[in-house]
Structure 1
Amino acid sequence: MLTSGVQEALSPKAAERMQWTDEGVVLGVRKHGETSVILELMTRAHGRHLGLVHGGRSKSLQAVLQPGNTVQATWRARLDDNLGAYQVEGLNLRAARLMGSSMALYGLATLAHLMRYFPERDPHFALYETMTVLVDHLDDPDLAPPLFVRFELAMLTELGFGLDLSSCAATGSERDLVYVSPRSGRAVSAQAGEPYKDRLLKLPGFLIGQSRSNRPDEEEIRSGFALTDFFLHQNVFEPHGRRAPEERARFVALATAGDD
């Protein structure tokens, strides 16, 4: 007679757990043995997930397994908690293009660092969509900076530290929102915040559809990164005993310099 554990392992549900196919963005790889690599993906439906790629150091696969590329990956393992193995196929090999932009390279390194604050195999569907839009435009000096600020806000939301920028924390008004409270993470109007403006964070207009132009200027981008930087340090970096990656500071410097 089969034990309950063996019966469960042989069930169709268990088989489904031990094999799946999904798309994902390459976050990084590290060498394993003579010819293989351990691939780290942020997948659409299975979260940040690692797996072994046999022959991953071959020339053909090296071109596919570059950070920033989107691949289709099939993961298989004998048991659900095993490392497992990937078979991968390139879907969007944007890495070659991104390598021509120093801003994009710092952005990719920062992105990979930030994604590692999420537990492995914990799906974040909305964040994945936000991330893929960002990666598509990381080499665009006009689009990458505001998209990265929005990505960091989305990351805070997924981690349970989302900001409420919809209305004034003091009056409930939805108009003239120009500050954010560092205590509550809520927006504050110009009138309500005037007496405390030295203690409040600036709220750039592009985050609430009130930018002065179609392209946020350097001041707005700088304010956006200062906003996310404060809450990332308070709620993410410091509780883990870590600092922001150096690549983030370099990305922000390029994003606010006006050229790449």
Structure 2
Amino acid sequence: MQWSDEGIVLGARKHGESSVILEVMTREHGRHLGLVHGGRSKTQQPVLQPGNSVQVTWRARLDEHLGVFQVEGVDLRASRLMAAPFALYGLATLSHLLRVLAERDPHQSLYEAVDLLVDHLDDPDLAPGLFVRFELAFLADLGFGLDLASCAATGQREDLVYVSPKSGRAVSAAAGEPYKDRLLKLPGFLIGRPTANRPSVPDLKAGFALTDFFLHQNVFEPRGQAMPAERVRLIALATAEDA
């Protein structure tokens, strides 16, 4: 068995004296593990850092085996990401979320979101909003996507300011007014195109609160798990008033 694919390093753990078991999110083969011989060498270690884009070739005698990776660096961005606290917590949170996915199940559209996010994790203007969008993409890929295109009550596409916690659909200001205390806020940056302008702190808080609700309800609570601790710190950094 053999295949080659592009991927993003999520993590690596020691195996034996000189090898590592590498975890990557690949475009065509999903989240995948493999053994890297000599992965703790001076030449390999910089390549196998979380956040780096790599080209991997996987080989195994049988498909169910762990297999062996041959890895080549493509974009070694880890060194610059390590200099940004938000990026470090972002990588940790991202990896935690992706480990919810079954190993080796392909998630091509989600891979695109991961690739875009990781490439901008050290951008203080783009990264916070992109992370909220990634979490929405993650929910959608698991089958819990939100419908933010039109009002659940009226069908109108303008003045959408709430989200129903029951249906996950947008609600207009007028339709939601009588129930606003029971609805989630919909920040404007989630229904427009991403821009280079950092969303306001209240909008970012609303965005993370929105994804937090549906991640807890649909992903972590059914598994008896808590939100990753790194995500709490990530949100604190993203919504600091002086950020």
Q: TM-score when scaled to structure 2?
A: 0.97
Q: What's the counterpart of residue 158 of structure 2?
A: 175
Q: What's the counterpart of residue 223 of structure 2?
A: 240
For the Cα contact (< 8 Å) 2:30–2:107, is it kept in 1? yes
Q: What's the counterpart of residue 50 of structure 2?
A: 67
Determine which of 125, 130, 135 is the counterpart of 1:142.
125
2:88 equivalent to 1:105: yes
Q: What's the counterpart of residue 52 of structure 1?
A: 35
For the Cα contact (< 8 Å) 2:125–2:196, is it kept in 1? no
CA–CA distance in 2 between the matches of 1:115 and 1:127? Answer: 10
Q: What's the counterpart of residue 73 of structure 2?
A: 90
Bigger Rg, which one: 1
SS in 2 for 1:30: strand
Identity across matched positions, percent:
74
SS in 1 for 2:114: helix
2:171 equivalent to 1:188: yes
Q: TM-score when scaled to structure 1?
A: 0.91
Determine which of 177, 180, 186 is the counterpart of 1:203.
186
For the Cα contact (< 8 Å) 1:204–1:220, is it kept in 2? yes
CA–CA distance in 1 between the matches of 2:186 and 2:218? Answer: 19
| Paired amino acid for 2:53 | T
For the Cα contact (< 8 Å) 2:126–2:196, is it kept in 1? no
Structure having the larger proportion of residues in helix: 1
| Paired amino acid for 2:230 | E
SS in 2 for 1:62: coil
Shift, 1:257, TM fit: 1.2
Determine which of 123, 137, 160 is the counterpart of 2:143.
160
CA–CA distance in 1 between the matches of 2:84 and 2:195? Answer: 27
**What is the total number of aligned residue pairs between the two structures?**
243
| Unaligned ranges ≥5, structure 2 | none
Determine which of 37, 48, 54 is the counterpart of 2:20.
37
Shift, 1:253, TM fit: 0.5
CA–CA distance in 1 between the matches of 2:55 and 2:242? Answer: 34
| Paired amino acid for 2:83 | G
Spell out, residue by residue over 1:48-87, the C-alpha distance to the aligned partner (whole angstroms, 9 max, x if none): 0000000001011000000000000000000011000000
For the Cα contact (< 8 Å) 1:204–1:211, is it kept in 2? no
CA–CA distance in 1 between the matches of 2:68 and 2:197? Answer: 45
Shift, 1:209, TM fit: 1.4
Please provide the CA RMSD for this pair.
1.5
CA–CA distance in 2 between the matches of 1:209 and 1:106? Answer: 26
CA–CA distance in 1 between the matches of 2:30 and 2:191? Answer: 28
Shift, 1:215, TM fit: 3.1
CA–CA distance in 1 between the matches of 2:25 and 2:166? Answer: 31
CA–CA distance in 1 between the matches of 2:14 and 2:194? Answer: 45
CA–CA distance in 1 between the matches of 2:194 and 2:86? Answer: 23
Shift, 1:213, TM fit: 9.6
For the Cα contact (< 8 Å) 1:71–1:90, is it kept in 2? yes
For the Cα contact (< 8 Å) 2:35–2:66, is it kept in 1? yes
